[in-house]
Amino acid sequence: MIEVLNNLAAVLGYAVLALTAVSGTVWWIFKTFSERWLNAKFAERLETLKHEQQKELAELKFAIDAQMDRATKLHQQEFETLPKAWRLLVNSFGIAREVTSRMQSTPDLNSMSDVQREDFLVEGVIGKELAEWQRQKIRDATDKTAELRNQWEPFKIARAKRASAKFYKYFRANGIFIRESLKTKFDNLDQMVLAAISAHQMNFQHRTRELKAIDRLADDGEAMIKALEIEVQKRLWDSTATGTESNDSGENSTSQR
C-alpha cells in the first residue's frame, strides 16, 4: 500500500513538473510574441506620427513661404510704384504752378522790330508751337503782346492738363500698392493741382478772377509736397530694410529647419 502511494506521489510529482515546464514554455512563447507584437505596433504608430509630423511641417513651411513670397511681391510692387507716382505728381505740380502763377511774363512783341517779331513767331520756341493762322492773328493785332498771350495760353493749359491726367491714370491703376496714408496725400495734392488748373482755365476763358484754388496751390502746395517727399523717401528706405530683414529671417528659418 505504501509502495503504491509512493508511486502515485512520484507520478503526481512528475505531472506537476511537466505541467510547470509546459506552463513556462507557454508563458515564454506568449511573452516573446507579445513583445514582438507590441514593438511592431509601437514602431508602426511611431512611423505614422513621424509621417504626420513631417506632413504638418511641410504644410507649415509651404504656408510660411507663400506668405513671405506674397509680402516680397507686394513690397516690390510698392517699391516700383511709389517712385514713378512721385515723379508724375511732382511734374504735374510743377507745371501747374508755372501755368497758374500770378507772376507770369509774356515776350513784349509790341516793342520788337518787325524783323525781330517775325523771327520770334517763326523760329522762336513759342512761335514754332503756333499754327500759321495764329501767327497771322498776332501779326494783325493792334496789341500783339496780348494776342500772343491769348494764342499761347491754351497750349500751356493743355500741357498742365496732360501732366495731371498722366498722373491720374497711373495713380488709379497702381495706387492699390500704396499704403492708405500716403495714397490719401497723393490724392489730396492731385485734387489741389486739378482745382488750380480748372480755376486758371475758367479765368482765362471767361475773364474772371477766381483765385482761391490758385492761391491755395501756391501757399499750401509747396509745404504739402515737401512733407509728402519726406514720407515717400522714408517709406522707400523702410521697404528696403523690411525686404532685407524678411530675406534674412527666411534664410535663417530654412537653415534651422
Each of the 257 residues of the chain gets a pLDDT tens digit; together they read: 666 555 555 555 555 555 565 566 656 666 676 777 777 777 777 777 776 777 676 666 655 555 555 556 777 888 899 999 999 999 999 999 999 998 888 899 999 999 999 999 999 989 989 999 999 999 999 999 999 999 999 999 999 999 999 999 999 999 999 999 999 999 999 999 999 999 999 999 999 999 999 999 999 999 999 999 999 999 988 765 554 444 444 444 433 33
Q: Is 101 left (phi over 0), alpha (psi -120 to 50) or beta?
A: beta
Q: How far is the C-alpha of 217 from the C-alpha of 97, rounded, in Å?
A: 7
What does the pLDDT read at residue 46?
73
pLDDT reported for residue 252? 45
Q: Count Cβ atoms below 10 Å from residue 3 Cβ, excluding itself.
A: 7
* 3-class state of residue 141 by DSSP: coil
Cell numbers for 59, please give them: 504644410
- Residue 246 has what pLDDT? 45
Which set of grid coordinates corresponds to residue 103? Answer: 507772376
The pLDDT, as a whole number, for residue 53 is 75
Residue 190 CA to residue 208 CA, distance in Å, equals 23
Q: What is the DSSP letter of 113?
A: -
Cα–Cα distance between 163 and 119 in angstroms, integer?
30
Cα–Cα distance measured from residue 231 to residue 185, given in angstroms and rounded to the nearest whole number: 10
pLDDT at 4: 53
- List the grid coordinates of 60: 507649415
Please give the Cα distance from 198 to 95 (Å, whole number): 13
